[in-house]
Amino acid sequence: MRTLWRPREMKDAPRLDDRLPLRPIKPRTALLINPFYPKDPHASYGKHVLTPSLALTSIAASTPPDWEISYWDENLLAGPPPCDPLPEVVGITVHLTFAARAYELARWYRQRGTKVIFGGLHVISCPDEVAPHADALAVGDGVQVWGQILSDVAGGRLQKIYRGDYRKPYRDDPAPRRDLLPRHGFLTTTSLIATRGCHSRCEFCYLSTRGLHMPYLMRDPEQIVDEFRQDDQPYAVFIDNNLGSRPDYLRQLCRALRPLEKIWSAAVSIDVTDDPTLVREMALAGCTGVFVGFESLSNDNIVASRKKSPRTEEYARRVAILHDHGIQVNGSFVLGFDHDRPDVFARTVQWIEDQRLECATFHILTPYPGTPLFDQFAAAGRLLHRDWSLYDTANVVFRPLHMTPEQLTEGYSWCYERLFSHSSIWRRRPTDFRAVLPYLAMSYLYKRSNRLWHYLIRRRLTARVWRPLVEITRQRHLRFRKRLAEQKERQPLRTGTVVSAGV
């Protein structure tokens, strides 16, 4: 395998200077931090600046009016978080892959007198590990408890643990504070979430983490439309785990979004194609791309992981339904299941090329702590280590059943190398000649331009370069929608794919 280019800024967190002189703490100020995490050079660096996470901006929306709140994302390559003046409170989201960085940031701020609050999935899955590094933990829904935390800090009565309940009506949450975001740093700042939770509980998914109780809840479609409109962006990314989990709700949402004449992408399960008229509603509402968790082409793997999904023989027909309606497909595949053998890599990539998937994302099976899969592998002695920084789906952290860890590592690398090759990009070109050139342009810019992405992120040019391309895509989609609307509902238009900026 060839050596992949990865500059220092993409693998090492910015340095925290312990020699800086102590500075005064500014009362009633809070800083929310998304810590740095190393980037996988196999994938596109562009995906890390596609859209911001909603976790911190949603928490920021519950900040009391007498507090000043700010936001810092270390992955925008602008250096370490600000410290002049020092905030009274720092809130840090903690995921297992960047837990060590979160602890480092916490140490640095706490030594200077700042109160540090941790939230995020790792706080739920490994509370005993996390607790010593913070002044307080926000367990569960941070939006519910953030205001109380700040009030307690001001009153000198900060508690060790605050618990938020995900069963609270989701529609009652305030709109995220997108005004805090550096708009130049992302392709779009309009990350939206209409539903929370998932009807599936796959054993390898973080939603199956022990102690995480997240029922499926929905927001009113009008709330989503208002947020999309107010952020004044042509393109949005829905970060729902599965936007299509309730077909009746998705249909209502699509009809509410349609008058905006904007474009969007979302994660859905492949069974959204059970009703082609729903796919048509998605296209008419502006959906140009979907992220589909196929996970595996083996029915045995799907059953073993307890994933609710159609049989894998159905996948190809269902992909064609999405393509018929101008919707790109970014397929997600997990490698290393117990029914996988060394031939899984070539078979998976061949299927991707045969179905002309515009993009695919590969993940090495990773047993997240607190999930049934982790417990199963730990009990069987199959875990190689517990270095959380490597539990990023790009490294092998367990002993596969029918191949060596080295074979799984090499196969994962080969899948990306093949998918991003000139020949594979060409094989997967759309069948409609009108879509070929835009597809090729987007494929090369997104998939084969990590040096360009590094430059754009460092120079704060991501939005400036990509927004014109997004607007061209939106205009193309509007023309496609007009043609699609003229077709009879039971005779979808066969046009190949409309290029999406989102996948």
What per-residue confidence (pLDDT) applies to 175?
A: 92
SS3 content of the chain, % helix, strand, coil (to 5): 45, 15, 40
Verify that 16 and 89 share a domain, yes or no. Answer: yes
What per-residue confidence (pLDDT) applies to 438?
A: 85
What per-residue confidence (pLDDT) applies to 212?
A: 65
Nearest one of 19, 15, 21 to 104, comparing CA atoms: 15
- Intervals of the chain under pLDDT 70: 1-2, 199-204, 206-209, 211-214, 488-503
CATH number at residue 464: 3.80.30.20
Report the number of distinct structural domains present in the chain.
2
Nearest one of 336, 407, 408, 393 to 363, comparing CA atoms: 393
DSSP 416-431: HHHHTSHHHHHHT--S
What per-residue confidence (pLDDT) applies to 200?
A: 65
Verify that 223 and 110 share a domain, yes or no. Answer: no
The predicted-structure confidence for 238-264, as pLDDT tens digits, reads as follows 999 999 999 999 999 999 999 999 999
Verify that 91 and 230 share a domain, yes or no. Answer: no
What per-residue confidence (pLDDT) applies to 494?
A: 45
Sign for the pseudo-dihedral over CA of 402, 405, 406, 412: positive
Verify that 110 and 203 share a domain, yes or no. Answer: no
Task: Find out whether 374 and 384 touch, Cβ atoms under 8 Å.
Answer: no
What per-residue confidence (pLDDT) applies to 495?
A: 40
Task: Find out whether 185 and 463 touch, Cβ atoms under 8 Å.
Answer: yes
User: Does any domain span residue 439?
Assistant: yes
Verify that 401 and 273 share a domain, yes or no. Answer: yes
What is the Cα–Cα distance from 466 to 461, expressed in whole angstroms? 8
User: Does any domain span residue 24?
Assistant: yes
CATH number at residue 132: 3.40.50
SS3 per-residue string spanning 459-501: CCCHHHHHHHHHHHHHHHHHHHHHHHHCCCCCCCCCCCECCCC
Verify that 107 and 246 share a domain, yes or no. Answer: no
User: Does any domain span residue 181?
Assistant: no
User: Does any domain span residue 458?
Assistant: yes
Give the pTM: 0.92
